[in-house]
Structure 1
Amino acid sequence: MIQVEELSFGFTAKDLYKDISFTLEAGQHCALIGSNGTGKSTLAEILIHPEEYLYDGKIVRDESCRIGYASQFSVGDKFQDRTVFEFLSERFTSLQKDIETVCAAMTETEDLDALYEQYQQLLDQNEAMDGDHYESKIRKSLAVAGMNDLAETKLADISGGEYKMLQIMREMLLAPNLLVLDEPDVFLDFGNLGGLAQLINEYEGTMLVITHDRYLLNHCFNKILHLENGDLQEFDGTYSEYRCSILREKLALKLQNIEEQEEIARTQELVDILRKRATEKVNPVIGRSVNAKQSQLDRLVARQIKAPFIEIREPEIVLPKVNVEEAAEKKPVLTITDYQVSFEEDLLENVSFQLFAGEKAALIGANGTGKTTLIRDILQNDHPAIHIDENTKYACLSQLQEEGLDEEKTVFETLQDGGFATREDVRHCLARYCLQEECMDQKVSKLSGGEKNMLQIALLAASDAQLLILDEPTSHLDLYAQTALEKAIADYEGTVLMVTHDFYLAAGCADYILLVEDHTVRRMRTRKFRKMVYDKYFDSAYLETDRKKQELEAAITTAFKKNDLAAVDKLCGQLEEL
């Protein structure tokens, strides 16, 4: 479908790719992964619109390739006065009207050649989309995604997560040969995430999906493209197979590197001995030996293997220090009393709960149940039903990044406003959060979604907040950053209220769950929440196995750092068994 050969591209301040090559074959479902800011979205855009970019290398696309695309950012439709079914059928009905218009024109003119050509093009397009059966296709897609009940719902009445699912579904219904999805999982609840996995697995065309979601990676793809540090690794197989393969490769490279370093050290020792002899005694034979050994040493150094492809880029996230004695008082930091909010119908009502100092609570519910509305009202702190302790300093991470950041400011100006006094302070901060130094003088608007979230987290960490209000904090973050944030929240001694659809974050960091259902909020123990998720959405055996995989990978990383390669080998074997 697409062949990329020795592609190089970058911006003025940053090179993104250097001579990367890969292929996408018909029918493959490929995941494009990599750390935040490596250029995954840009690569997808280059593949879709190569004529708009100045790059080196070659991109060859199949002549029949029709490309569909759904952005990582859910953009609201201007004309909201339509139902979900009308939204999904719009392009089909529009095409049928075009066909009817051409047919009508044929009855009124004698010059039919141009009209026949246009008519045939429209018929071909309709056939490629299977337009004659669009209604049944739409019903089937809604059923697969678990969204049957929304068919006659107005777009204005659905949530952002549901709207994103519909955008993806609409692109799939048009049956492009290649469908590109950029972080389709962001903000989706557990039910919609399962529906998305079903849609991906049932799609018969070629797919390129940018994602950091562990569930999708483990269930939906048979090819992996890993973009890191300007280089790209191509792997035919599942994500689990790829992780095992890359760790085994890293171990093999490490062992090879040790052997090479030992040989280099021995050769260097011989060169030093021969040089010493040459200074003590003039002898042309010794001089030639020195030159020969030095040449051998230079060759060994030149051909030694490069560092293993994957080096863990886990940011160092340390959230604000909190007075432990104050936290131990267990005073109420946030009090909600009989809160309610409604639009055309009641969204939330009779909501009452307290959050005490040092507690961590996860606010969880399906898309469209009012979680973000509640969070916004808490942050504004002017609602009669909401009270934040006047002595408690609080800070927020917003899922709507343009609300949490001034996108017209540079990264340096943003961090300077957050308390970083000098460029050197900012440089150290960027390094800790795995943000490229080159982005210091870029506008925030030029950062990727994951980089913007890391910037918000850096600002939170630099604050003196005792209460953190986090709205989808792991959205857009790569797998390493997700893990680092989970650790940081678990270690934080202050109070946390977080809205999340990330099962691992909620199950691993929350003291309890605030579950939004039936238009209200009820408190639930984390253990009971886990069981509910197992019963309703995911297989418990899968989730437990995936948790064990993560623990093993963390242990392998630790063993690599300690240079305990025997332990690495043993742990890799255990990971492969899982």
Structure 2
Amino acid sequence: MNGENGYFCSMLSINNLSYFIGGRALYENASLHIKPKDKIGLVGLNGTGKSTLLKIINGDYQPSAGDIQKAKDCTIGFLNQDLLSYQSDESILDVALAAFKDTLRLQDEIDEVLHQMETDHSEAIINKLARLQDQFEANEGYTIKAKAEEVLEGIGFSTADLKRPLRTFSGGWRMRVMLAKLLLEKPALLMLDEPTNHLDLPSIQWVENYLRNYEGAVIVVSHDQEFLDNCVSTTVEVSNGNLTVYAGNYSFYQEEKKERMEIQQNAYENQQQMIKQTERFIERFRAKATKSNQVQSRIKALDRLERVAEVVDDNIAVNFKFKFSQKSGRDIVVLDHVSKSYGDLVILKNTSARIERGDKIALIGANGKGKSTLLRIIDGTEPIQGKREHGYNVIKSFYAQHQLEALNVDNEILDELKQEGSGKTEIELRNVLGCFLFTNDDVFKKIKVLSGGEKSRVALAKALISEANFLLLDEPTNHLDMQSVNILIQALQQYEGTFITVSHDRHFIRGVANKIWYIENNQIKEYPGTYEEYTYWKSQQEANQVTVKEPPKEKPNVKKREISQQEINLTKKELKKKEQELELLEEKISTIESRKKALEAEMADESVYADSQKLAKVNDAYAKVVAEEKSLNATWESLVETISSLQENLA
């Protein structure tokens, strides 16, 4: 039974499923029972077979063993990345309307009957028209266009877009059209493989609400943790060839899995203790004839024992050591009355903003508002009207999806990082790659054999070892699995520089941002707090239906006093003097840092820490060096502030 008439689909059962790729078992005797109206999140590490399972259910792949049983009236709709290649000269509205094929066929029959009635006025033809119109009305045929428009606009298309041919849209937007068509078809079982990859935040929230109220069953694969929390009620983990069911959303799954892992680890440790005791008994009494029966009994018991597996924790805690060759001044970038447009399309109009040292900014909002354009403006690569100033000692690193193509495909991963010129040793680079899940011989893989997610991790690693004190990150979580997203969050939490990131991943934004930027009415707006605080503030605004005054984000535009040429010359002279002082100071800081490292090496030397007198002497020297370094850094901060102020006076 199709979506136009209802869903009354019996269960779908996966029974003792096995699926082998070469000699490797992707699934082995896995089972899963899907009931009507189930909302299932399918989770697991990359490569465990989540997308493969959806394709097996859809009939694209045949299982090696076991079977899948589903009722005849259980229709399946499947959104997968293969649909990116679909092209059509039809308008996106017509492509979406194809979801109502039965109703459209009735419309064609009605049109044909009306044409016949121009010459045929018999009672039979009139009865036929009445019957077709009753069926058309029962199928809600008069509302299908409105439904299609509602869904297309809900996932981000403007009214003007609806008449444009599908082929004129990019792959990501074409994928949205295919999602709209699937949602309108309303299959009994809707399967979505990474549906949020091509959606902006407002569209993600619209789809969440739609799926929560969806009348059929849903299976969704997604790396977006908050999306799963908001639209699934059951989580199924794919791990070690099995399907493990957790009766809750993703957050419930995390807590429940933690408890199960603790129980399993305790059982493993208890069993290992019992095994060791049994093995000691066997070894001790093996040669004694009087104990032979007991020994043989214990040997057989060990052979029959079902071993408890040791717990492997997928949640990796990483420790990044960032090193900056230079500290930036207080101001990173200042935009002053900036405007940007492409022909008649206005992106920014006479807007100002400031990024200061230590800002961790998430730039959010719907696609098409100009977020990526704003990143390029901040980077200095996008021409503008107005004033753009980069601060003192700012070293930038820009990560965007197109940089994946800039990777040298013939390089090995380790060589690709070596060519970044960070000065890190091979051991340090391998440690960084280990944080991004490239371990042992993985570092010698060629870039050309990597998946999209693996290439993203390599490009992110390059950005983070670049010694940049200012990062610009455009959709850094795209193509990353949950484990990789959590690693990136940890890295950015430990990063002591400044960054601005464009992202639609709310879990990621919550983990890293201390300020929220968005573009509204061609103006850059700022909320000076976390994403949690921003969403509460926004909900209060909407609830009260009033405009809440935003916190001030820039100083009043006070007209500067005219200064004489003599004052300008004196300021330039003072600036040059301070810059020379800063150069000498940085040399001192570099020397003291080298001395500090040498003392740390001495403290780790066995001949030193084994001798209490030597160790005390080294500790005293180390304490003095640390105090001197602190003092020099404080002087450096003050000097940079002075230089920034002098530069502002000359601007």
Q: Do the structures match in fold with TM over 0.5?
A: yes
* CA deviation vs aligned residue, 1:512-532 (integer Å, no higher than 9, x gap): 222211112123311562433
Query: Separation in 1 of the partners of 2:261 and 2:514?
Result: 37
Query: Separation in 2 of the partners of 1:418 and 1:269?
Result: 50
- Match for 1:322 among 321, 324, 333? 324
The alpha-carbon deviation at position 199 of structure 1 amounts to: 0.8
The alpha-carbon deviation at position 425 of structure 1 amounts to: 8.8
Does the residue aligned with 2:196 lie in a helix, a strand or coil?
coil
Q: Does 1:173 align with 2:173?
A: no
Match of 1:206? 217
* CA deviation vs aligned residue, 1:70-108 (integer Å, no higher than 9, x gap): 2358949856894x645532554797369738996999x
Does the 8 Å contact 2:20/2:27 carry over to 1?
yes
Q: Does 1:26 align with 2:28?
A: no
* 1:239-278 alignment, distance < 5 Å: 239-275=250-286, 278=287
Does the 8 Å contact 1:406/1:414 carry over to 2?
no
The one-letter code of the counterpart of 1:321 is K
Does the residue aligned with 1:457 lie in a helix, a strand or coil?
helix
Does the 8 Å contact 2:56/2:63 carry over to 1?
no
Does the 8 Å contact 1:185/1:211 carry over to 2?
yes
Does the 8 Å contact 1:72/1:181 carry over to 2?
no
Q: Scaled by the length of structure 2, what TM-score is found?
A: 0.65
The alpha-carbon deviation at position 163 of structure 1 amounts to: 6.6
Q: 1:440 to 1:97 in 2, by over 3 A?
A: farther
Does the 8 Å contact 2:413/2:445 carry over to 1?
no
Match of 1:487? 490
The one-letter code of the counterpart of 1:359 is D
Unaligned runs of 5+ in 2: 1-10, 117-131, 544-651
Does the 8 Å contact 1:33/1:225 carry over to 2?
yes
The one-letter code of the counterpart of 1:355 is I
The alpha-carbon deviation at position 226 of structure 1 amounts to: 0.8
Q: 1:500 to 1:133 in 2, by over 3 A?
A: same
Q: 1:494 to 1:407 in 2, by over 3 A?
A: closer
Does the 8 Å contact 1:314/1:481 carry over to 2?
no
Q: Does 1:64 align with 2:44?
A: no
The alpha-carbon deviation at position 344 of structure 1 amounts to: 4.0
Does the residue aligned with 2:480 lie in a helix, a strand or coil?
coil
Match of 1:541? none
Does the 8 Å contact 2:15/2:68 carry over to 1?
yes
Does the residue aligned with 1:326 lie in a helix, a strand or coil?
coil
Match of 1:550? none
Does the residue aligned with 1:64 lie in a helix, a strand or coil?
coil
Q: 1:358 to 1:38 in 2, by over 3 A?
A: same
Does the residue aligned with 1:469 lie in a helix, a strand or coil?
strand
Q: 1:18 to 1:337 in 2, by over 3 A?
A: farther
Does the 8 Å contact 1:161/1:367 carry over to 2?
no
Does the residue aligned with 2:464 lie in a helix, a strand or coil?
helix
The alpha-carbon deviation at position 441 of structure 1 amounts to: 7.7
Match of 2:372? 372
Q: Does 1:531 align with 2:532?
A: no
Match of 2:60? 50
Q: 1:134 to 1:63 in 2, by over 3 A?
A: same
Match of 2:97? 89
Count of residues in Structure 1 that have an aligned counterpart in Structure 2: 506
Match of 2:418? 419
* CA deviation vs aligned residue, 1:175-228 (integer Å, no higher than 9, x gap): 222221122223644432321111102221221111233333223223321112
Query: Separation in 2 of the partners of 1:390 and 1:71?
Result: 47
Q: Scaled by the length of structure 1, what TM-score is found?
A: 0.72
Q: 1:91 to 1:380 in 2, by over 3 A?
A: farther
Query: Separation in 1 of the partners of 2:190 and 2:228?
Result: 17
Q: 1:506 to 1:296 in 2, by over 3 A?
A: closer
* 1:322-471 alignment, distance < 5 Å: 322-323=324-325, 326-327=327-328, 329-332=329-332, 338-378=338-378, 381=381, 383=383, 392-398=394-400, 400=401, 403-405=403-405, 409=409, 413-419=412-418, 431-434=434-437, 450-471=453-474
Query: Separation in 1 of the partners of 2:78 and 2:354?
Result: 43
Q: 1:93 to 1:291 in 2, by over 3 A?
A: closer
Does the residue aligned with 1:526 lie in a helix, a strand or coil?
coil
Q: 1:149 to 1:187 in 2, by over 3 A?
A: closer
Query: Separation in 2 of the partners of 1:374 and 1:311?
Result: 39
Does the 8 Å contact 1:138/1:173 carry over to 2?
yes
* CA deviation vs aligned residue, 1:488-531 (integer Å, no higher than 9, x gap): 21210122111122334434433322221111212331156243
Q: 1:30 to 1:65 in 2, by over 3 A?
A: same
Structure with more relative contact order (C-alpha pairs < 8 Å, separation 6 or more): 1
Query: Separation in 1 of the partners of 2:337 and 2:171?
Result: 27
The alpha-carbon deviation at position 470 of structure 1 amounts to: 0.9
Q: 1:522 to 1:183 in 2, by over 3 A?
A: same
The one-letter code of the counterpart of 1:523 is E
Does the 8 Å contact 2:399/2:473 carry over to 1?
yes
Query: Separation in 1 of the partners of 2:442 and 2:138?
Result: 43
The one-letter code of the counterpart of 2:396 is Y
Q: 1:408 to 1:189 in 2, by over 3 A?
A: same
The alpha-carbon deviation at position 462 of structure 1 amounts to: 3.5
Match of 2:576? none
Match of 2:229? 218
* CA deviation vs aligned residue, 1:312-340 (integer Å, no higher than 9, x gap): 242636374224x614x325357576141
Query: Separation in 2 of the partners of 1:69 and 1:459?
Result: 36
Query: Separation in 1 of the partners of 2:34 and 2:361?
Result: 43
Does the 8 Å contact 2:339/2:351 carry over to 1?
yes
Does the 8 Å contact 1:315/1:480 carry over to 2?
no
- Match for 1:186 among 197, 200, 207? 197
Does the 8 Å contact 1:180/1:208 carry over to 2?
yes
The one-letter code of the counterpart of 1:341 is S
Match of 2:14? 4
Does the 8 Å contact 2:225/2:250 carry over to 1?
no
Does the 8 Å contact 1:507/1:526 carry over to 2?
no
Query: Separation in 2 of the partners of 1:417 and 1:354?
Result: 34
Q: 1:464 to 1:260 in 2, by over 3 A?
A: same
Q: Which moved more, 1:28-37 or 1:125-134?
A: 125-134
The one-letter code of the counterpart of 1:137 is K
Does the 8 Å contact 1:7/1:19 carry over to 2?
yes
* Percent identical: 25
Q: 1:375 to 1:43 in 2, by over 3 A?
A: farther
Does the 8 Å contact 1:36/1:448 carry over to 2?
no
Q: Does 1:303 align with 2:306?
A: yes
The alpha-carbon deviation at position 460 of structure 1 amounts to: 2.4
* CA deviation vs aligned residue, 1:105-138 (integer Å, no higher than 9, x gap): 999xxxxxxxxxxxxxx99x99998656412433
Does the 8 Å contact 2:340/2:384 carry over to 1?
no
Q: 1:14 to 1:271 in 2, by over 3 A?
A: closer
Does the residue aligned with 1:348 lie in a helix, a strand or coil?
strand
The one-letter code of the counterpart of 2:416 is D
Q: Which moved more, 1:457-466 or 1:98-107?
A: 98-107
The alpha-carbon deviation at position 249 of structure 1 amounts to: 2.3
The one-letter code of the counterpart of 2:518 is L
Q: Does 1:509 align with 2:512?
A: yes
Does the residue aligned with 1:353 lie in a helix, a strand or coil?
strand
CA RMSD of aligned residues (A): 4.5
Q: Which moved more, 1:170-179 or 1:525-534?
A: 525-534
Query: Max radius of gyration: which structure?
Result: 2
Query: Separation in 2 of the partners of 1:50 and 1:164?
Result: 19
The one-letter code of the counterpart of 2:27 is Y
Q: Which moved more, 1:86-95 or 1:204-213?
A: 86-95
Q: 1:81 to 1:336 in 2, by over 3 A?
A: farther
The alpha-carbon deviation at position 369 of structure 1 amounts to: 0.6
